[in-house]
Copies of this chain bind each other. A is one copy, B any other.
Amino acid sequence: MATIFDVAREAGVGIGTVSRVLNGSPLVSEATRQRVEDAITRLRYRPSSVARAFGRRRTERLEVLVPHFVEPFFFELLMGIEDALADADSEYSLHIRAMTDAADRDRVLGECCRKNNVDGVLVLWTPPTEGFVKRLERDRVPAVLVNASHPSLPSVAVDHDRSAAQAVEYCARIGHRRIALVDRFIDPFGQSGAGACQAGYRAAMSVAGAPVVAGYERVVPLTAESAAEAVTHLLEMPEPPTAILVGSDVQAIGALQAARARGRQVPRDLSLVAYNENSVSRYLGLTTIRVPLRVLARQGLQLLLQRVQEPNLAASVTYLDTELVVRGTCAPPRA
């Protein structure tokens, strides 16, 4: 394998010049640059990324933290990440860590950057713990959140409240007034706390002049089972909802199963709006709030790369728009 020395010799210059050419420095005359580049092609030289990382005192590695429930749409996220890496044609490679539950989350956040040295961390769909944030700050490891937020960390996210509002507005427009919410906790591992879409749901209900009946808001753990149970409860109410907004795709499946189990036909007897796009929702023909997964991940990674280069940027928050995809699970309520 040719090294930078070979190229320098071949081009009749010093290695410093070759290095400058390699890194696109303006401090090289056009003629010299040309000669160096010729030498590079002639020798089929390619710089060693490891030696580069070593010299730059970087690792050229990023860590990606994902909760397990992203499984149905993780591929899209990954494509977004690869998009961003390709854009920047960087040599970064990835350490991907999944978190199965709250205990595992704590373990993974605790180990993050410890064993493996990384230049930055991308946290997907998971509110970071305080200890984790502190440690990142102490160790000067830049991090970016995707679809999560923290006061001192930059993030790219969809506005869950606005998305919920989109769904409620749509249901109201086609005639529903008894609209319920089956939501997940903001923290995907959480067993309590506010729902991810709750505020938006309330606001939109109030705008639509629809009453938020007691018991219509059900914030439950992020599993199909919990959602199924919640829907069952809703359907057993004296005044059951005619439409339900479900805050995650995993829960949407549970909701469908529960409706089916109670003999309700969707959308004839019950309208459903689901969340995210994946093979299930597409196959099932769910009316859905589409989250721009690929773009979300891409922008998150771009932001991270930026901060790897300039660690002192202020924490920014970017919101991306969701889109309501109308398919077959909503219909006007029956008189």
Instruction: Give which listed residue, B49, B60, B93, B284, contacts A94 with CB less than 8 A.
Output: B93
Q: Is the CB of B97 within 8 A of A94?
A: no
A115 to B51, CA, bound (A): 14
Contact pattern, A 58-87, Cβ under 8 Å of B = 1, otherwise 0 = 111100000000111011101100100000
> With A94-B93, A117-B48 given, is the CB distance from A75 to B71 under 8 Å?
yes
Q: Note all chain B residues with C-beta closer than 8 A to A53.
A: 50, 53-54
**Is A88 part of the binding interface, using a Cβ–Cβ cutoff of 8 Å?**
no
Closest-by-CB residue of B relative to A58 is: B50
Q: Is the CB of B49 within 8 A of A54?
A: no
Scoring A50, A82, A117, A283 by chain B CB atoms within 10 A of each residue's CB, the highest score goes to: A50
Count of chain copies? 2
Q: Is the CB of A59 within 8 A of B49?
A: yes
Instruction: Give which listed residue, B54, B116, B280, contacts A51 with CB less than 8 A.
Output: B54
**Is A244 part of the binding interface, using a Cβ–Cβ cutoff of 8 Å?**
no
Q: Is the CB of B49 within 8 A of A116?
A: yes
Interface size class of A (residues with CB under 8 A): 35 or more
Q: Note all chain B residues with C-beta closer than 8 A to A50.
A: 50, 53-54, 58-60, 117
Q: Is the CB of B54 within 8 A of A78?
A: no
**Is A9 part of the binding interface, using a Cβ–Cβ cutoff of 8 Å?**
no
Q: Note all chain B residues with C-beta closer than 8 A to A70.
A: 75
**Is A29 part of the binding interface, using a Cβ–Cβ cutoff of 8 Å?**
no
A305: shortest Cβ distance to chain B, in Å? 15
Q: Note all chain B residues with C-beta closer than 8 A to A114.
A: 46
Q: Is the CB of A46 within 8 A of B82?
A: no
Q: Note all chain B residues with C-beta closer than 8 A to A89.
A: 115
Residues of A within 8 A of B (CB): 46, 48-51, 53-54, 58-61, 70-72, 74-76, 78-79, 82, 89, 91, 93-98, 114-117, 253, 256-257, 278-280, 283-284
